[in-house]
Structure 1
């Protein structure tokens, strides 16, 4: 499961709809794997406006990535620092995969299991 997808996931439990604590889902016991993918600055520039930067930085810190800035880059690539941030963002979002673990909602505590890189979002009947 690529970390990019986490930016678009929220808890599916009915009682969590509208709760700020249901996004982002937080990783626990995450086993990470790096898979090199060609760097695509155009893709990053296009996806950047859609990213919730607070969610991305929270997830990054929880997984041990400490090199993203507190504020979202503008994607201009005008400076060497901007290039480095975009490279780091590429590594985090595109090359880092969670192969095992779980994502937990901070609102209701429900855990979504991740096995072999696939998250299980099927809910038991009592939570639908």
Structure 2
């Protein structure tokens, strides 16, 4: 499960849908893996406005990854004068696209329910008594 995906997930329980504590889900016992893929500057530039930057900063802190800048980088910061990807863009690419959770759990900050992640796939099916 790519770290980018976590920026769009919330707890599946109905009672958590209306609370701010249900987002972001907090990784526990997470085992990270990196799979190298080609840099796509346009994709990163288009994703930045859609990201909840504060949630991404919390996520990187909880996983022990390098801290993100205080503010979302501007589009101009993502390319050098010669049009090549900047170091900021490369770092964001590694964080958002190449880094993923292989195994572990995702916990809701509101109800505490934990969703298992196995082989990079999170199981969001709830037991019948929690639906």
TM-score bracket relative to the smaller structure: over 0.9
Q: In 2, are the aligned partners of 1:16 and 1:108 still within 8 Å (CA)?
A: yes
Which residue does 1:68 correspond to in 2?
Answer: 68
- Residue number in structure 2 paired with 1:21: 21
Note if contact 2:102-2:120 (Cα within 8 Å) is conserved in structure 1.
yes
The CA RMSD over aligned residues, in Å, is 1.5
Give 1:35 shift: 0.5
Task: Quote the Cα distance in structure 2 between the aligned partners of 1:57 and 1:79.
Answer: 24
Distance 1:75 1:51 in 2: 14
* Number of positions where the alignment pairs a residue of Structure 1 with one of Structure 2: 127
For structure 1, the residue ranges without an aligned partner over 5 or more in a row are none
Q: Distance in 1 between matches of 2:37 and 2:22?
A: 30
Kindly report structure 1 stretches of 4+ aligned residues shifted beyond 6 Å: none
Match in the other structure for 1:34: 34
CA contact (8 A) 2:106 2:115 kept: yes
Q: Are positions 1:120 and 2:123 aligned together?
A: yes
Measured in 1, the distance between the counterparts of 2:79 and 2:43 equals 17
The Cα of 1:65 is off from its aligned counterpart by: 1.4
Partner of 1:49: 49
How many Å separate the matches in 1 of 2:80 and 2:58?
25
Contact 2:117 2:123 in 1 (8 A): yes
Report if the CA contact (8 A) 2:7-2:51 is conserved: yes
TM-score normalised to structure 1 length: 0.93
Structure 2 unmatched runs, 5+: none
Partner of 1:84: 87
